[in-house]
Structure 1
Amino acid sequence: MIEQLRFNLDRAMEIDPLFMEPEYPFEWGGIYNLDVGSYSLLLDEGPDPAMQIAVLPAAAATLEALELVQEQAVLVFSDEEQVLDPGATLTPGVSLARLNLWSTPLHFTLEVAKAGAYALFTEHGPDEFNLRLLAGDEVLTPELEHAYKPDHEHDEEVTSVGITVPGDLDPKKLNAWLSRLLREQGLDIFRMKGVLSIAGDARRFVFQGVHMLFDGRPDRAWGNEPRTNKLIFIGRNLDRTALNADFRDCMA
């Protein structure tokens, strides 16, 4: 079964202490405590003419909350983006914005309708564009922040591929495909995770992986929830069409 694809994590960490540090489609994340109101997001000219950004509600301004919301941000960064020109307004939510940085002043407005903690994720490091968030004339400092592994910096070959397919999977076909995928493309797959519906099993199967390391386990029962497979890959030179086609070939 799929459990056979698990690898020796301790051994992998001995060989490479950074093995489990995943690559993300963003380079920086920070959490701010914001009141209701309008905020100014200011940038200077930088190395790229555009930058993706997402502002997501967070449970609190804590490291645990950031770790939870960053997984949601991975999915958001795989969605279609809304293109915003300077002067446009952003609102927090589960959506991805692409800021056009081709004309100055590079000023955007963040409109907050409910007070609370909000996580800001940026495609590039804020220092590259002198990005700052202001309340009036005051530059706000995030309650906490984290710089993510930057190996993919400015690499257009790094993309994310999301797959959503209803129905059940044939475990033997799935096992064979995953084995081949990890063997042939594992070094280029920075991160993958998902929820699978296995034929003959009443439980959801959840998995995650980093490079050639794969780990999965049965989760809660599907119950009345539609049996749908949802997974995402982040990596270099990913073939979206082939991944979708090969995954569909694993259906029961």
Structure 2
Amino acid sequence: MPTDTASADATIAAKVPVTVLTGFLGSGKTTLLNRILTEEHGKRIAVIENEFGEVGVDDALVVDAEEEIFEMNNGCICCTVRGDLIRILGTLMRRRDRFDHILVETTGLADPAPVAQTFFVDDEIAGQLRLDAIVTLVDARHLVQHLDDDKPDGVENEAVEQIAFADRIVLNKTDLVDEAELDDVIDRIRAINRVAEILPAQHAKVDLDKVLDVGAFDLGRTLEVDPAFLTDSEHQHDLTVTSVGIELAGDLSVPKLNDWLGELLATKGTDIFRSKGILAVGGQDNRYVFQGVHMLFEGTDGQPWGEAPRISRLVFIGRNLDRGALEDGLRGCLVSGR
């Protein structure tokens, strides 16, 4: 007869591993997700995406893949849509033969603890799935700024929470800091989490064997970090952080767009944590993919528009956002605009 240990091991092995991918706004989660979806690792992965904002952009940033991808755009996965997460997981388990790993990508403003809690407090989920690891991406250039962010009383710092609960920390964008800054960032991470393995990276390029199916989540350690982990459902976001989403039909002028975005991020970039968009640019057959983190931004060619309507979608996440000014600014970039 099998020993109790062997029986327990068999039970664990029968459960589908789940990776929770978290990290503050602009840390590189979607870049890592695309690597996971395109590299040869032999796994069939179902993806659950949660996006913060009224206008969805991330769906267009994720590469085409055969994997099943579910989107959750109507709130933050760690609070308002947690019931949706449970329902999607239940739907996935009815298609168990189509995948052998689940990846949950949270918003940049999510506390991973309530997400992880789902795999222990819901009996049906706990019986079929196992939390394999919480993988947190951090932006080496901007992490310290977010760790030192002055939050209102009673509001948690998501960047701190994401590091505290991490089993693996992908220290991304190391090429944007010097050695002394990098050492300081590592010291700050270690002050919050002494045991998680730190994986330095550029463009989220890491050995996927270090982040997938690693069996790294330790409930005992998590309870040391947060003794109320299995019972505490309280979670309060910083309500000063908001999202402005804009959709606009018509082609945009590259010179106008560059001038407007350059001035906007130079003057307001401290308050704009994240900006991203899929833009229709005059004279170009492909979508223009725009990504920004504070004052840093870049643009690349995306998929061809083909027969799809040429509608630009742009999202800003941050503080003190002026919706009217942002809408007017983008409208002013139209080829035929003011």
Q: What TM-score comes out, normalization by structure 1 length?
A: 0.55
Residue 144 of structure 1: which of 122, 133, 147 is its match?
A: 133
For 1:135, give the aligned amino acid. D
Which secondary structure state, in structure 1, belongs to the residue aligned with residue 275 of structure 2? strand
Equivalence map 1:57-96=2 (5 Å): 72-74=49-51, 77-79=52-54, 93-96=71-74
- Partner residue, 1:119: 104
Residues 1:211 and 2:294 aligned together:
yes
Deviation at residue 171 of structure 1 after TM alignment: 2.1
**Pairing 1:54-203 to 2, within 5 Å after superposition:** 72-74=49-51, 77-79=52-54, 93-97=71-75, 99=79, 110=87, 111-112=90-91, 113-115=94-96, 116=99, 117=102, 119=104, 121=106, 124-127=110-113, 131-133=117-119, 134-136=122-124, 138=126, 141-147=130-136, 151=147, 153=158, 154-203=237-286
User: Could you tell me how far 1:69 is from its partner in structure 2?
Assistant: 5.5
| Residues 1:217 and 1:129: Cα distance change in structure 2 (over 3 Å) | closer
Give per-residue Cα distances to partners, 1:163-194, cap 9 Å, x unaligned: 11111012222122111101111111112111
Cα RMSD of the aligned pairs, angstroms, is 4.1
Letter in 2 for 1:23: L
1:114 Cα offset (Å) = 3.0
Q: Quote how far apart the aligned CAs of 1:247 are.
A: 0.8
In 1: Cα distance, 2:111 partner to 2:290 partner: 29
What's the offset of the Cα at 1:73? 2.5
Paired residues of 1:208 and 1:216 also in contact (CA < 8 A): yes
CA distance 1:126–1:203, change in 2 (3 Å): closer
Give runs of aligned pairs for residues 212-231 of structure 1, distance below 5 A.
212-231=295-314
For the residue of structure 2 that corresponds to 1:131, the secondary structure is helix
- Per the alignment, residue 238 of structure 1 pairs with 321
Specify whether residues 143 and 246 from structure 1 end up closer, same or farther in structure 2 by C-alpha distance, changes over 3 A only: same
Structure 2 vs 1, CA of residues 206 and 109 (structure 1 numbering), >3 Å: closer, same or farther?
Answer: closer
TM score, norm. by length of structure 2: 0.43
Change in Cα spacing, 1:194 to 1:137, as seen in structure 2 (3 Å) is closer
Greater RCO, CA 8 A, separation 6+:
1
More strand by share: 1
CA gap 1:217/1:177 in 2 versus in 1, 3 angstroms: same
Cα distance between partner residues in 2 of 1:228 and 1:241: 19
> Which segments of 5 or more consecutive residues in structure 1 lack a partner in the other structure?
1-20, 25-57, 81-91, 101-105
Paired residue total: 179
Q: Do the aligned partners of 2:50 and 2:105 also contact (CA within 8 Å) in 1?
A: no
Tell me the SS of whatever aligns to 1:143.
Answer: strand
By how many angstroms is 1:109 displaced?
5.7
